[in-house]
Amino acid sequence: MTDPCLPECGVARFLTLLNGPWATLIVRELLHGSHRFNQLREALPGISPHTLTSRLRQFERHGIVTRTTYAEIPPRVEYALTPLGEGLREVLEAMGAWAMAVPDPESGVTA
């Protein structure tokens, strides 16, 4: 069953789920393995706690990320990609390869 809030077009759906630069960068960090909230904040200088929380909740709602709480004192929470989220690895690698092929007009070097 599809989410009525998500567009039918695959590209539009992708852009809705990974809206803004932070979403993609959060996924990039989680591709290295599970992270705690503060580890993600340290890896993404400039992200606000509100934005990080919002993106992680959205990813969890859509089955991209799991949130695991450990019964410790103080409680420990870790975020990890689901198999669906892991499927973004190839997408991000392709995006990175494409971006590196774009010439940098400042350097005068072409790909």
91 belongs to a structural domain: yes
CATH number of domain containing 38: 1.10.10.10
In a domain, 104, yes or no: no
Residue 54 lies in a domain: yes
In a domain, 25, yes or no: yes
Q: What radius of gyration do the chain's Cα atoms show?
A: 16
Is residue 105 situated within a structural domain?
no
Task: Identify the DSSP state of 62.
Answer: T
Residue pair 107/87 in contact by the 8 Å Cβ criterion? no
- Read off the DSSP letter of residue 102: S
Give the domain range for residue 26.
Answer: 10-95
CA distances from 42 to 18, 27, 97 (A): 20, 14, 25
Mean pLDDT calculated for residue range 38-51: 96
1-24 residue pLDDT tens? 345 678 888 888 888 888 888 999
Question: Residues near 89 by Cβ (< 8 Å), separated by ≥ 6?
Answer: 31
Number of domains in the chain: 1
The residue-averaged pLDDT of 32-41 equals 96
Q: What is the pLDDT of residue 1?
A: 38
Residue 109 lies in a domain: no
50-98 pLDDT, tens digit per residue, is: 999 999 999 999 999 999 999 888 889 999 999 999 999 999 999 999 9
d(CA 111, CA 99): 10
